[in-house]
Chains A and B, each alone.
Chain A
């Protein structure tokens, strides 16, 4: 009997506790609504309940884009500005306004041959770098050591110690008009030799054939891309025949071997013939330009890009100097 009465007391206590909880819950709901707007009618209350609450988790994705930025809209999630073949370049459009060639620049006496001096305007010049030369990049070779050697030294920046001229810079003059000429296109070479591409840098016309060959007694692959788009990716076995491929698009091509990651080369392709590659002393020479204002650009694989605007006369020689800082 004692046990039965205590059991009843426990049950009644639990039920009383539950009832108290229900009362509290109802009271809190009531105060919540009326605290927000005590003058609302029952109709307003129903209406407010029906209105969808702006919730991030429940709102559909399409609606979120209107109020809340999607992951793609947020600045920190945006993709970085694509680099051109992984190289950080200045914007080619950022050409300074037309101005005469700076007379304060140190003039370099450059030879002008007689046969072209009277035929039309000639643009000659030099690309210089007077800064500190970075040490060559050394990369350990982990495979095919017998052909590639144990260590590969990569010297992308070659500067003449006397004239400070930069080798293998590409100089291009954009003429802003359609060029029609019948100059035959020359075949450009990409040679795999001792686990390096030769030449490392070259410039060529649009449509010119590129001949890829392998002189090494091992397999390479030549993977050419422009703006991260594959132009050609071919396997080259030892002793295989050369492969030819025309480069049809203007721009900067990156050439890599996926088998030997230290192998790298560049080809700059232009729609017009007004380009040159600097020699050992950093000199360049471009002929056959129409007179007028033209934009000159210089590209180097490690130094970047420089721009200038020049006025080309009907006849005569324009001397330029570009200095990378």
Chain B
């Protein structure tokens, strides 16, 4: 009897793991999918992003009124969090990642929605910008860290941090208090004042705080903000790129959760 229960429990655990681990397939971008996505959008996104997706929802009117960030205008604006080159649109996976993870301090995670619902909302959001019809954007290669961080790599990253003028916005110690940020010289694409990210606080890293997330932010830049893409400057300099990533990670205090 106890053997049967054990087998049954093992089967149930296996099935539960399988169903939660399977990534729901992105639906075809049909009219039916858009209509389904619109219902989810109006329920979950409209409050900030507005009825027409212009970033002017009832709550969005208050957010980012006088300083960045403002809710995204899905009809025309750039996307900050991408795996594609500067100026390009994000991939579907980029949008799914942002919807699922949220943006720390600003946009909530919508992992509470079923995967099918998140995909449907993405299909609808994409339909608001005609540029998505021009073709699927090509993502950059975001590799796994080739080696673990070391004192030497972090020290080299510190030199590169100053070489690439990261300190002019993010400050000498990464507190986001660089001279350009302090003087209020930084503006986003809307002309709103924007402050540099505090690299000593992981929750300030809106595009994610793992080493791959920081690598991706460095390579793609954050369009619509002063943060440029370093993909061309670091082209063929993989070691420099990862040393810089490790130094940025070392600035945050959560050393116990050092994920690389």
Give residues in A with beta carbon < 8 Å to B: 61, 70-72, 77, 79, 86, 142-143, 218-219, 221-225, 227-237, 240-241, 243, 245, 258-259, 261
- Min Cβ gap A81→B in Å is 14
Do B86 and A234 touch across chains, with their CB atoms under 8 A apart?
yes
* A229 and B77 contact, Cβ closer than 8 Å, known pairs A142-B179, A219-B164, A221-B228: yes
State the CA gap A235–B221 with chains docked (Å): 9
Do B233 and A240 touch across chains, with their CB atoms under 8 A apart?
yes
Do A235 and B78 touch across chains, with their CB atoms under 8 A apart?
no
Could you say which of B56, B78, B168, B224 contacts A259, with CB atoms under 8 Å apart? Answer: B168
Contact segment of B102-110, B118-126, B180-188: B180-188
Question: What chain B residues lie within 8 Å of A77 (beta carbons)?
Answer: 61
State the CA gap A79–B191 with chains docked (Å): 13
B203-225 CB mask vs A (1 if < 8 Å, else 0) is: 00000000000000000010110
Additional A-B contacts beyond A71-B61, A229-B76, A258-B226 (6; CB < 8 A): A223-B228, A230-B78, A230-B224, A233-B226, A234-B233, A241-B235
Question: What chain B residues lie within 8 Å of A219 (beta carbons)?
Answer: 164-165
* A72 and B61 contact, Cβ closer than 8 Å, known pairs A143-B168, A219-B165: yes
Question: What chain A residues lie within 8 Å of B255 (beta carbons)?
Answer: none
* A233 and B179 contact, Cβ closer than 8 Å, known pairs A61-B58, A225-B189, A228-B190: no
Q: Does B133 contact A (CB under 8 A)?
A: no
Q: Does B232 contact A (CB under 8 A)?
A: yes
- Min Cβ gap B57→A in Å is 9
Question: What chain A residues lie within 8 Å of B189 (beta carbons)?
Answer: 225, 228-230
Do A261 and B56 touch across chains, with their CB atoms under 8 A apart?
no
Q: Does B4 contact A (CB under 8 A)?
A: no
- Min Cβ gap B84→A in Å is 12
A–B pairs, 27, beta carbons within 8 Å: A70-B58, A71-B61, A72-B61, A142-B183, A219-B164, A221-B226, A223-B226, A223-B228, A227-B76, A228-B77, A228-B191, A230-B86, A230-B87, A230-B224, A232-B87, A233-B226, A234-B231, A235-B164, A235-B165, A235-B229, A237-B164, A237-B233, A240-B232, A258-B180, A258-B185, A258-B186, A259-B168
State the CA gap A245–B85 with chains docked (Å): 11
Q: Does B132 contact A (CB under 8 A)?
A: no
Please provide the 5 A-B residue pairs with the shortest distance between their CB atoms, ordered closest to farther. Answer: A258-B226, A230-B223, A221-B228, A235-B228, A219-B165
Q: Does B163 contact A (CB under 8 A)?
A: yes
Question: What chain A residues lie within 8 Å of B179 (beta carbons)?
Answer: 142-143
Residue of A nearest to B78 (CB): A230
State the CA gap A111–B213 with chains docked (Å): 60
State the CA gap A219–B168 with chains docked (Å): 11
State the CA gap A258–B56 with chains docked (Å): 27
Could you say which of A222, A233, A236, A261 contacts B223, with CB atoms under 8 Å apart? Answer: A233
Do B163 and A237 touch across chains, with their CB atoms under 8 A apart?
yes
State the CA gap A258–B180 with chains docked (Å): 9
Question: What chain B residues lie within 8 Å of A143 (beta carbons)?
Answer: 168, 179
Question: What chain B residues lie within 8 Å of A224 (beta carbons)?
Answer: 87
Do A234 and B232 touch across chains, with their CB atoms under 8 A apart?
yes
Do A233 and B233 touch across chains, with their CB atoms under 8 A apart?
no
Do A233 and B58 touch across chains, with their CB atoms under 8 A apart?
no
Do B233 and A236 touch across chains, with their CB atoms under 8 A apart?
yes
Do A258 and B228 touch across chains, with their CB atoms under 8 A apart?
yes
Question: What chain A residues lie within 8 Å of B56 (beta carbons)?
Answer: 72, 79
Question: What chain A residues lie within 8 Å of B183 (beta carbons)?
Answer: 142
Residue of A nearest to B229 (CB): A234
Question: What chain A residues lie within 8 Å of B185 (beta carbons)?
Answer: 258, 261
* A235 and B61 contact, Cβ closer than 8 Å, known pairs A142-B183, A228-B190, A229-B78: no
State the CA gap A54–B226 with chains docked (Å): 48
Q: Does B74 contact A (CB under 8 A)?
A: no
State the CA gap A258–B196 with chains docked (Å): 12
State the CA gap A240–B179 with chains docked (Å): 24
* A233 and B87 contact, Cβ closer than 8 Å, known pairs A79-B56, A228-B189, A241-B232: yes
State the CA gap A149–B256 with chains docked (Å): 46
Question: What chain B residues lie within 8 Å of A235 (beta carbons)?
Answer: 164-165, 221, 228-230, 232-233
State the CA gap A290–B99 with chains docked (Å): 51
Question: What chain A residues lie within 8 Å of B186 (beta carbons)?
Answer: 258
- Min Cβ gap B253→A in Å is 27
Do B190 and A232 touch across chains, with their CB atoms under 8 A apart?
no
State the CA gap A227–B165 with chains docked (Å): 28
- Min Cβ gap B196→A in Å is 10
Q: Does B40 contact A (CB under 8 A)?
A: no
